[in-house]
Amino acid sequence: MEQSHDKLIMTVNAGSSSIKIGLFKGHPGQDVPVLFAGAKFDGIGTLPRMKVTRADGSLATEKQFDPKEAHDQITAFKLIFPALLSELHGQEPALIAHRIVHGGEHYTEPVLMNQHHLQELKKVIPLAPLHEPFNLAPIEQILKSNPTLPQVACFDTAFHANRSELSMLTGLPYSYYEQGIRRYGFHGLSFEYISHQLHHVAPSIANGKVIIAHLGSGVGLCSIENGKCVEVTTSFTALDGVPMGSRTGTLDPGVMLYLVGQGKTYDELENILYRQSGLLGISGVSNDMRTLRSSGDKRAQLAIDYFAYHIAQQIGRLAVTVGGLDGLVFTAGIGEKDAKLRSQVVRYLEPIFKLELDEQANEGNAFQISSGESQAPVLVIPTDEESMLAKHAWKIYNKL
């Protein structure tokens, strides 16, 4: 570290087959920590590989591992530290911030983790089975190995927690809402980051009626006004809303009743909903848009068309919740890089919202991809969940 009184903040974003690590410097008196290095470990259990890069984009190290060396998140997590030592300059992390997909009913803001919170959050695992176990695994490991090291959990559901009761309700009897069955919403750290960024990069719409489309392997759209969430497409679980890489998106519950009647078990239904549907299920080819784009299979194109169709539908629905559209933002892996998808979505919206793309800007993944004739700006803003993790954790650390 450049200054001895700087504190090292490590951010951890652990998924089912990957772990993203951010290293930030927190300086006393500064609200926003500064990124100086990052690492990504993906292909866990299959083709494990790790890449460490510095903030300027230069490569620090890159390495592949035998699947037996990194067969789960814990073994992969242990391999990351030696690779980061050269970037740490001998300094140990002062705190670690973790992304947690689901905070349930009670966790609506970042929290300093302990065994009690860990056990409470384990109860939420059935609501996010693809993510929550892997989010919690590093926390549990560190609580055992280094219990005095502060760990802060930041929740993807928190950004949506102050929506109206009308937005949070389901159509079930109200007693279920009182029991915690409600529309929570996800990808909140991403939406929060974009909401903050608008004040810097597009201040004219930052407090307006903006729809953010987070399009990655997981998908969620959110309408904001005055920087606050009004409505979101995901709900009780991360299944709802737009179809995703391997998840259904919105589905008539009667389909599940029918399949139960056909003898499907709980585990089989969970597998269908979370792992066999969406782009993968429709195409029969892949859950990866890049693979679908390169495929000549008609069902691959059908999956892409279905995806775009439902994104546009949800944008229309969200515009109703805020009474208009002052700006549209695409973010996350697909949203930031797939120009053809953005063009396809905007074509659906053009007759209603008078949006128009600058095709050259769109093809180049420019910041503003709308033309001067567009009634509202259409923007591409890279998301940065890690910086939000660091910011939240640093704020809590400074209160210890």
Which residues are annotated as part of the binding site?
13, 20, 99, 214-218, 288-290, 385
Residue 308 one-letter amino acid: A
Q: Quick one: tokens of 321? A: 């919740």
**CA–CA separation, 190 and 187 (whole Å):** 6
Angle between helical axes of 266-275 and 253-261 (0-180°, round to 10): 140
Question: Residues with Cβ < 8 Å from 390, sequence gap 6 or more?
Answer: 9, 11, 22, 24, 26, 33, 35, 97
Tell me the residue ranges of DSSP E strands in the chain: 7-14, 18-26, 34-42, 49-54, 59-64, 95-100, 111-112, 151-155, 209-215, 219-225, 228-232, 327-331, 378-380
**CA–CA separation, 275 and 267 (whole Å):** 11
Name the region of 185 (left: φ>0; alpha: ψ -120 to 50; beta: rest).
left
**CA–CA separation, 359 and 368 (whole Å):** 11
Annotated binding site for substrate: 99
Pairing label, strands 34-42, 49-54: antiparallel
- H or E element at residue 122: helix 115-122
Active-site annotation holder among 156, 240, 326, 338: 156
56: annotated active-site residue: no
Q: Quick one: tokens of 2? A: 């450049």
Annotated binding site for ATP: 20, 214-218, 288-290
Angle between helical axes of 188-201 and 385-397 (0-180°, round to 10): 90
User: Nearest 5 degrees, angle CA 5-CA 9-CA 15?
Assistant: 175
Annotated binding site for Mg(2+): 13, 385
Catalytic residue list? 156
